[in-house]
Amino acid sequence: MSKTMKKRLVIIGSGPAGLSCALSALKNGIPKENILVLEREEELGGTLNLCIHAGFGKDNKTGTELATELADKVRNAGITCMTSTTVLSIDKRKIITLISPELGYTKITAEAIVLATGCRERSRGGLSIGGTRPAGILSAGTAQRFINLEGYMPGAKTVVVGTTDLALVIARRITLEGGQVVFVCDSKKKPQSERVKVGECLDYFNIPLKLHTTITRIFGKDRIEGVEIAELDKKGRPIKETKERVECDSLVYSCGFIPENELANSLGIEMRQSTHGPRTTRKMETSIDGIFSCGNSRMIHEDVDDIILDGKKAGKFVAEHLKSLKEDKKKKKEKKQ
Amino acid sequence: MSKKVYDVAIIGAGIVGTMTAFYLSKYNVNAVVLEAGIDIASGTTRANSAVIHAGYDAPEGSLKAKLNVKGAKMVGPIAKQLGVHYKKCGSLVLGYNKKDLNQLKILLVRGKKNGVRGLEILTQSQLRKMEPNVSRDAKYALYAPSAGIVCPYDLAYALGENSCTNGVDYIFEYKVDKIEKNQRNYLLYSNNRVVKAKYVVNAAGLYSDEIAEMLGDPLPFKIIPRRGEYLLLDKCEGKVVTHTLFVTPSEKGKGILVSPTVDGNVLVGPNANVVESKADTGVTVEGVREISEGARGIVPSINLNTVITTFAGVRSTPTSGDFYIQESKKFPRFVHAAGIESPGLASSPAIGEYIIKILDRAGLKMEEKEDYIPTRTKDGNCKLFMDMTESEKRNAVRKDPHYAKIVCRCEMVTEGDIINAIKRPIPAHTIDMVKRRTRAGMGRCQGGYCRAKVAEIIARELNIKISDVKKFTSNSNVIGGRTK
Ligand SMILES: Cc1cc2nc3c(=O)[nH]c(=O)nc-3n(C[C@H](O)[C@H](O)[C@H](O)COP(=O)(O)OP(=O)(O)OC[C@H]3O[C@@H](n4cnc5c(N)ncnc54)[C@H](O)[C@@H]3O)c2cc1C
Ligand SMILES: Cc1cc2nc3c(=O)[nH]c(=O)nc-3n(C[C@H](O)[C@H](O)[C@H](O)COP(=O)(O)OP(=O)(O)OC[C@H]3O[C@@H](n4cnc5c(N)ncnc54)[C@H](O)[C@@H]3O)c2cc1C
């Protein structure tokens, strides 16, 4: 039998939410030895590490810069962060099962847990486009990883589906790297982006934007060779007469994000239909006592600053919770004596 | 030209080809499997309903009926031997009116005659107890407790790996395009390459008619390609049904079903439409609408917004209506296994045995091996990390730290699993080959998170450039060129 480790506060996820939560818990009186941050990736910082474009935080940093800044603060404060560490499960007694190359397959018992696992991209399944499923179709996140971290392009002629912030940023990136974006389209009547401006990303680079337009078919057996597009009528159905075949060798889609809540779900935490995140109290506690949720795993936030704020609040509330636990214990002890 | 002459060549590495190889590899027989695709289960075997039908559908006395009932009983033990997920979940055929009820009674009688055990017709309240989400319009159901589900491509991989471990050769991207016969042997050509064999099994699925024509012995019926489209739902919808639910069959076939999968997802489909091309596995917008409506008729509350992927499979429907498994009358030692439409998967163990018996009768020398290995590899059955027990997980991580690194977060696939897939008896070298062996990229984000990482691992392990990593075939590079 291996012995289980103990930690008072375990934060799962080291994106802006998790890191700012750790700092805030420290500031609110939880000693650094009692805090542990777990991260699946090799680096701290979460999704920010993929965002090499500027526009984050107050002084318009790149995502990578902001990630490094937050990570340094946490490390310099002496908080333990374990990277390349994946939480496999949590049970109701707050026993966390995890694997990491360093510790192997291990269990940690926590007094309080903060879920800051971020969000994931929605998949193409939701798009339900007809045709074959050839290579050359990537989610915006995958495309971003290939381009920014590996230095590879999705193709030479790319169609981008979706007008989320990420979709627009990717369209610009592809153009900057020497690729051609045939067009960006969305079935909605308005672009879905919140912070990024269409002008900056598309107009400036002469990338056409087709709104209220959908992809009705994908062509190609091995690699994608083209798509069929159509404008939509009032009821959102494709208009036959507007169908048109467009050649391309790659397609990047971005269907938005959804909170990542596998752990919360497996714990049986109550979820909120509208946000796909856990139902939380005013103090950001979930339906299970001592388990908190913040950042994009609680609900999708558009702005990193809001996420950092969410993490800070969670840090404060979880610190209060731990203090009250300690006092309860003390009282019990006194009663016994 | 190689001098080697195989005892047996099997054309096609679908469930029929790999099952035949599995049985053959128990004997001291020199065998080879020739497959047009890049991998095992490149055809119909990878896209079907995955149901081990109990055996009440096929008409009494048909070869289908005989092999279905027998084969269905053999799937469980084989799955256990090779570590394949199989679940005897039982099936329910729903009846909505008196006409359906009569049809169900016919199936019940037929099933009993075919030798299916445990069949009974349920009342609405019995049905609702078993499946609380089923439509209130469903008034009766035929319950078949012996029906089950399996992962069809995993079963084929397991059979392929086991037979490969026991000495059967596999040659991929070998599309047989010409067949000749000299005095003793058959010569199977592909692009000027040739493989020689004394005995041949035609297990080419949809293309078995073309193989027969190449031989000069056309099949006595036609093969009609009929496509079936599917939706696959997220695991979060996984508990909406616990049995395989069918509607009462009509002239069009078995109709649309809603079924759990062994991995915890839900499968919805298939429709049945004749297609021009046997290779047309595209999914249509109309098809998606058709199966969505069908599914709502079975489980009105089903959440179809949880679709994570769509796919389609093509049936090889014989105009004769039955399986055709025979030695050619004109060409001795050449065995056709054609028209293997549903329940081809459920019947496959019995089909494999049946083919072996034909080869035996045709004079193939079959002497049992003394050193037969019952598992996928010499060291066992390549268990995936998520299928391991707690102590197995602990050990795996201790022995190889790659097992401590999660690559696919939806299905919790580790780097160790992926490296193992790249090194298994029939090695994976494309994104899709890794996907089907490990489930990396098969979860709710469909590879959005892990595809780039899987490509990196393949490139590293095979010592190739990441831009040379393919999705499935030789022309399907995952990504384009370098950035500026
Ligand atoms: C929609 C649908 C639903 C189904 N549902 C069920 C079900 O629930 N239960 C059930 O029991 N059955 C079901 N089936 C039937 C079952 O899937 C098939 O019977 C079975 O997979 C057929 O296996 P096979 O090996 O004959 O063919 P395949 O799997 O098609 O294998 C044939 C192989 O031969 C290769 N090949 C072809 N030509 C050549 C050549 N010239 N040279 C070399 N190789 C070649 C192909 O690439 C292919 O890999 C279903 C089928 C469909 C389409
Ligand atoms: C029981 C069952 C459970 C499943 N569960 C899951 C699941 O949990 N998650 C999941 O993601 N999927 C699941 N699937 C779907 C599976 O991943 C595949 O999509 C399915 O097997 C169909 O394969 P495909 O090759 O047609 O399509 P895909 O795997 O989607 O794509 C492969 C592409 O290759 C093309 N292609 C095929 N053969 C050739 C060839 N010889 N030459 C050139 N191109 C070719 C196809 O047209 C297609 O475009 C399941 C399938 C089944 C039957």
Question: How far is C-alpha B56 from the chain's CA centre?
Answer: 21
Residue B484 lies in a domain: no
A158, A207 Cβ separation under 8 angstroms: no
Q: Give the structural domain span for B49.
A: 1-87+149-222+319-382
CATH of the domain at B80: 3.50.50.60
- A324: which residues sit within 8 A by CB, 6+ positions away? none
- Centre of ligand 1 from the C-alpha of residue A123, in Å: 28
Rg (CA), chain B: 22
Residues A133 and A242 in one domain: yes
B-chain residues within 8 Å CB-CB of A123?
Answer: 308-309, 444-446, 448
Backbone angles phi, psi at B305, to 5 degrees: -75, -10
Shortest CA distance from B284: residue in chain A: A130
Cα–Cα distance for residue pair A213/A246, rounded to 1 Å: 13
SS3 call for A16: helix
Residues 317-336 of A with CB under 8 A from B: none
Within 10 Å of residue B416's Cβ, how many Cβ atoms? 21
Q: Which two tokens stand for residue B165?
A: 């471990």
Q: Is B304 on the interface with A (CB under 8 A)?
A: no
Closest CA to B175 of B461, B474, B483, B434: B474
Backbone phi, psi, residue A213, to 5°: -135, 140
Q: Whose CA is nearest to atom 53 of ligand 1?
A: B315
Number of Cβ within a 10 Å radius of residue B191:
10
Question: Structural domain tally of chain B?
Answer: 3
Closest ligand 2 atom, residue B312 Cα: 26
Look at residue B474 and tell me if it is in a domain: no
Specify the pLDDT at position B170: 98
- Is residue B477 in a domain? no
Q: Which of the residue ranges B262-276, B306-320, B330-344, B442-456 would you say has the lowest mean pLDDT? A: B442-456
B27, B167 contact by CB (below 8 A)? no
Residue ending a domain, choose from A206, A221, A253 = A253
* Residue A63: closest CA among A310, A294, A303: A303
d(CA B468, CA A135): 13
End residue of a domain, out of A231, A253, A275:
A253
Please list the active-site residues of B.
53
Cα angle for residues B130, B135, B136 (degrees, 5° grid):
90
CB A19 within 8 A of CB A71: yes
Residues B364 and B412 in one domain: no
Shared domain check, A249 and A265: no
A100 and A15 belong to one structural domain: yes
Mean pLDDT to the nearest integer, B265-279: 94
| pLDDT digits 0-9 by tens, B419-471 | 999 999 999 999 999 999 999 999 887 887 788 899 999 999 999 988 888 87
Q: Are residues B114 and B80 in the same domain?
A: no
AA identity, residue B75: V
Which residue shows structure tokens 């041949």?
Answer: B200
- What's the B368 CA to ligand 1 centre distance in angstroms? 29
CA separation for the pair A107, A86 (Å, rounded): 12
Cβ atoms of B283 and B313 within 8 Å: the answer is: no
Distances (CA, A) of B44 to A260, B205, B279, B312, B338: 34, 7, 10, 9, 13
Q: Over 70: is that where the pLDDT of B477 sits?
A: no
Contact B436, B46 (CB under 8 A): yes
User: Where a domain ends, among B355, B382, B409?
Assistant: B382
A181-213 burial: b if 16+ Cβ within 10 Å, else e? bbbbbbbeeebebeebebeebbeeeebebbebb
Mutation target among A1, A40, A119, A124 for the B interface, most CBs of B within 10 A: A124
Angle at B406 between CA B404 and CA B410, to 5 degrees: 145
Task: Judge if A131 and A224 occupy the same domain.
Answer: yes
| Cβ atoms A121, A255 nearer than 8 A | yes
- Ligand number nearest CA of B229 is 1
Distance CA A304, CA B43 (A): 47
Q: Which of B354, B382, B410 is the last residue of a domain?
A: B382
Cα separation, A167 vs B29, whole angstroms:
57
For residue B444, the distance in angstroms to the closest alpha carbon of chain A comes to 7
Count CA within 13 A, CB hemisphere, residue B87: 15
Domain that holds residue A183: 123-253
Are residues A22 and A94 part of one domain? Answer: yes
CB B468 within 8 A of CB B456: no
The verdict on B376 and B437 lying in the same domain is no
- d(Cα B115, Cα B441) in Å, to the nearest integer? 41
The domain spanning residue A229 has which CATH number? 3.50.50.60
Q: Whose CA is nearest to atom 41 of ligand 2?
A: B37
What is d(CA B408, CA B435) in angstroms, rounded to the nearest whole number?
10
Do A50 and A137 lie in one domain? The reply is no
CA B313 – ligand 1 centroid, Å: 9
Q: Is B404's CB within 8 Å of A156's CB?
A: no
When mean pLDDT is compared across A147-151, B90-94, B161-165, the lowest value belongs to A147-151
Helices B152-165 + B344-361 axis angle, to 10: 30
Contact A132/B at CB under 8 A = yes
Clarify whether residues B244 and B305 are in a common domain. Answer: yes
Answer whether residue B196 is part of any domain: yes
Residues of B with Cβ-Cβ distance to A262 under 8 angstroms: 409-410
pLDDT of residue B289: 85
A82–chain B Cβ distance below 8 A for any pair: no
- Residues of chain B numbered 354-393 and touching chain A (CB < 8 Å): 390, 393
User: Considering CB atoms only, which of B284, B446, B479 is closest to A154?
Assistant: B479
Option in A131, A136, A152 nearest B283 (CB): A131
Say how many C-beta atoms besides its own lie within 10 A of residue B301's C-beta.
10
How far does residue B212's CA lie from ligand 1's centre (Å)?
Answer: 16
The confidence score (pLDDT) of residue A1 equals 41
Question: Is the Cβ of B221 closer than 8 Å to some Cβ of chain A?
Answer: no
- Residue B409 is predicted with a pLDDT of 87
Are residue A134 and residue A97 in the same domain, yes or no?
no
For residues B199 and B344, membership in a common domain is answered with yes
Separation CA B290–CA B293 (nearest Å): 5
Last-in-domain residue among A253, A273, A295 = A253
Q: How far is the C-alpha of B109 from the C-alpha of B106, rounded, in Å?
A: 5
pLDDT digits (tens, 9 = 90+) for A208-236: 999 999 888 888 877 889 999 999 998 88
| pLDDT value of position A14 | 95
User: Model ipTM?
Assistant: 0.77
pLDDT digits (tens, 9 = 90+) for B370-386: 999 999 999 999 899 99
Verify that A308 and A282 share a domain, yes or no.
Answer: yes
pTM over cut 0.90: no
The reply to whether B198 and B156 lie within a common domain is yes
CA distance B252 to B249: 8
- With a cut of 50, list the residues of chain A below it in pLDDT: 1
**Structural domain includes residue B181:** yes
Neighbours of A231 (CB within 10 A): 17
Q: Which residue has 């990883």 as its token pair?
A: A145
pLDDT of B158: 98
Could you tell me which residue, B214 or B450, shows the higher pLDDT? Answer: B214
| Average pLDDT taken over every residue of chain B | 94
Task: Classify residue B398: in a domain, yes or no.
Answer: yes
Give the pair of three-digit tokens for residue B5: 């002459």
Q: Closest ligand 1 atom, CA of B42? A: 49
Which of B364, B382, B400 delimits the end of a domain? B382
The C-alpha atoms of residue A79 and residue A98 are separated, in whole angstroms, by 19
Candidate of B149, B435, B472 to mutate for ligand 2, largest count of ligand atoms within 8 Å of Cβ: B472
In a domain, B479, yes or no: no
Residues B298 and B436 in one domain: no
Strands B120-122 vs B140-144: parallel, antiparallel or unpaired: antiparallel
Asked whether residue B1 carries a pLDDT value surpassing 80, the answer given is: no
Whole-angstrom distance, CA of residue B138 vs CA of residue B144: 17
Judged on CB neighbours under 10 Å (0-12, 13-18, 19+), A101 is middle
* 3-state helix vs strand vs coil in chain A, percent to 5: 35, 30, 35
- Which range (A293-297, B300-304, B470-474) has the least confidence? B470-474
Look up the CATH number of the domain holding residue B295. Answer: 3.30.9.10
Residue A233, number of CB atoms within 10 A of its CB: 12
**Whether residues B389 and B369 fall in one domain:** no
Distances (CA, A) of B33 to A128, B40, B155, B350: 36, 10, 16, 19
pLDDT at B461: 97
In 3-state terms, what secondary structure has residue A332? Answer: helix
In angstroms, the CA B371 to CA A119 distance is 52
Pocket around ligand 1: residues whose beta carbon is below 6 Å from it?
A: B 11-17, 34-37, 42-45, 48-51, 53, 174-176, 203-207, 211, 228, 270, 313-315, 340-346
Nearest Cα residue to A80 out of A37, A16, A41, A117: A37
Query: Do B29 and B106 have their domain in common?
Result: no
Are residues A148 and A105 part of one domain? no
Q: Say how far apart CA B54 and CA B72 lie, in whole Å.
A: 6
Give the pLDDT mean for B264-271.
Answer: 95
Question: Which region holds residue A136: left if phi is over 0, alpha if psi is between -120 and 50, else beta?
Answer: left
Residue A181: helix, strand or coil by DSSP? strand
pLDDT of residue A218: 86
Distance from the CA of B425 to the center of ligand 2, in angstroms? 22
Q: Report which DSSP code applies to A213.
A: E
Tell me, yes or no, whether B231 and B344 share the same domain. no
- Same domain? For A165 and A116 the reply is no
Q: Which pLDDT does position A237 carry in this prediction?
A: 84
Kindly state whether residues B399 and B425 are assigned to the same domain: yes
Q: How many residues does chain A have?
A: 337
Looking at residue B484, what is its pLDDT?
55
Residue B177 lies in a domain: yes
Contacts of B288 in chain A (CB under 8 A): 128, 130
Q: For the packed helices B415-423 and B451-462, what is the interaxial angle rounded to 10 degrees?
A: 50
Work out the pLDDT band at B313, boundaries 50, 70, 90. Answer: very high
Same-domain check for residues B51 and B194:
yes
- What is the count of structural domains for chain A? 2
Tokens of B238: 């996984």
